[in-house]
Amino acid sequence: MSPPEYVVVGMDDTPHAIAALRRAGEEARERRARLDVVRVGKEDEVVTEAARRALDELVASVLGPADPVAARCLIASGRPGDVLTRHAAEAELLVIGAGYGGRPLDGSTVTSVLSGAPCPVLVCTAPDLPGRMSYTIRFLTPAPAPA
């Protein structure tokens, strides 16, 4: 039996992450896959029940209560790029939001994810921010060489 298919999305409180969550929900729906929503806190941050509830509520408000996607919310600590690529080890897709501070794909998390992701990566920005470029870029990782 093969493991269940899943899509991973990195989550924080930015508009870019909200856009990524929406897109990840669409991708999971199309694939009939589970959606793993991963929020990464600081390495010394204590995860509280209130933080878990807040993430659950945020995901429900963005995806909607009638959304058929099975979402699993996870909170981890560490470096966001490392945590996300580790969690996406067997994922179909990893979706992240990226701010646009002058150059597309600039930032340590984006750089870390793009250089270490074991699966295709989809990078999204928030299309509703005034004066910002909106883009969605899909990166495919090469297939492993046959043994």
Dump pLDDT digits (tens) for 15-71: 889 989 999 999 999 999 999 999 998 766 667 788 888 999 999 998 887 667 789
Q: Give yes or no for a contact between 72 and 34, defined as CB atoms under 8 angstroms apart.
A: yes
Q: Give yes or no for a contact between 77 and 45, defined as CB atoms under 8 angstroms apart.
A: yes
Span 6-139 CATH architecture: 3-Layer(aba) Sandwich (3.40)
Predicted confidence band of residue 135 (pLDDT cuts 50, 70, 90): low
Question: Alpha helix (H) ranges present in the chain?
Answer: 15-31, 49-63, 80-87, 108-116
pLDDT score recorded for residue 86: 95
Q: What is the pTM of this model?
A: 0.82
Q: How far is CA 8 from the centre of its chain?
A: 5
Average pLDDT of the chain to the nearest whole number: 81
* Cβ atoms within 10 Å of 138's Cβ, excluding its own: 12
